[in-house]
Amino acid sequence: MTFVKLFIPALLATAALAVASLFVGVSEMTFSTLLSGPGGERAWMILGASRVPRTLALILAGAGMAVAGTIMQMLSRNRFVEPSTAGTVESASLGMLAVLLLAPDLPVIMKMLVAAAFALAGTAVFLSILRRVPLRSPVLVPLIGLMLGGVINACTTFFAYRYDLLQAMGAWTSGDFSAVLRGRYEVLWVALALTVAAYVAADRFTVAGMGEDFSTNLGLDHRKVVGLGLVIVSMVTASVVVTAGILPFIGLIVPNLVSMVMGDRLRRTLPWIALSGAALVLVCDMIGRLVNAPYEIPVGSVLGVVGSLFFLNLLLRRRPRAA
């Protein structure tokens, strides 16, 4: 009952942020403008074609990436891991480049599936490396992921430079929602469906996060659960990269903050993680639109600054104290 009493105000606060997002932008829009005669038609067109799709995309992307980060932390059993620190988003970007080089006319859903396949392969390589490397410190895990992501990103940049596609690559890796319009964000509903699937399998992910031996003793097929988690993470990451580009550190900030307050039981925390992820992206997007108005700072850049500071704080908090 306490959970419901707290969750409803949080849901209303996020809804208020979503409504506020509708009225932030270059084109002036107020309730009176929507109700006025001459300018009302244009305002409704902007609202339906741009502002509503953009706000929905922000909510779906934020919730999906936060949940994906949580699943990755459970599977790797490390608080520093999320798609942007495990080579997942870089792998998805490499998949997008491959599509652009080999089959640029593919529909959006096929581009997402190709990017998801690359992201799945990159994440599997990351987890495979973790099994083979002795991890004496939890900080080594994100370090391995960042090095893997750096190698993949270097390959992507090389081929993009070789085929004169650096500008195109920058467009889909910036984490920018300014180009999101009606008809160009619907693939993100896949992320919502996968977020719901993650909630259904939340208890299995919680048990799998306790280790392969422990989960096997409880009768859980650890490999199948890990496979399901990898598919969810890869598909969500690919759908976001295809739509808006890379959104860094959401899966690092939100799960850690929620875990500090509510613990690690996914069945209870996952709705909070999804809601908090959506709220964080909405806030960062509005900051990007207001700081240098009428120009925009991509939400990925704002998240990069906020996430870097939070990442450093996590590292410093885990630093061993002198005796």
- Which residues have C-beta within 8 Å of that of residue 1, sequence separation ≥ 6? none
Close Cβ partners of 82 (under 8 Å, ≥ 6 residues apart) = 65, 68, 69, 72, 73, 249, 250, 251, 252, 255
pLDDT of residue 6: 75
Write out residues in the chain with pLDDT < 50, as ranges.
Answer: 320-323
CATH tag for 2-317 (out of 1.20.1050.10, 1.10.3470.10, 3.40.50.1100, 3.30.310.40): 1.10.3470.10
- What does the pLDDT read at residue 31? 66
Rg of the Cα atoms in the chain: 20
Query: Could you tell me which of 124, 94, 125 has the C-alpha nearest to residue 111?
Result: 94
Contact 273, 66 (CB under 8 A): yes
Among 323, 281, 75, which residue's Cα sits nearest to residue 191?
Answer: 281
Q: For residue 28, what are the contacts with CB-CB under 8 A and spacing of at least 6?
A: none
User: What's the CA gap between 132 and 120, in Å, rounded?
Assistant: 19
Instruction: Give the model's pLDDT for residue 135.
Output: 65
Contact 284, 309 (CB under 8 A): no
pTM of the model: 0.85
Alpha helical stretches, state H, 133-265: 140-162, 166-173, 189-200, 202-208, 212-217, 222-243, 250-262
- Domain boundaries defined on the chain: 2-317
Q: Note the pLDDT of residue 183.
A: 75
Q: What pLDDT does residue 118 have?
A: 92
Backbone dihedral angles phi then psi of residue 138, each to the nearest 5 degrees? -65, -20
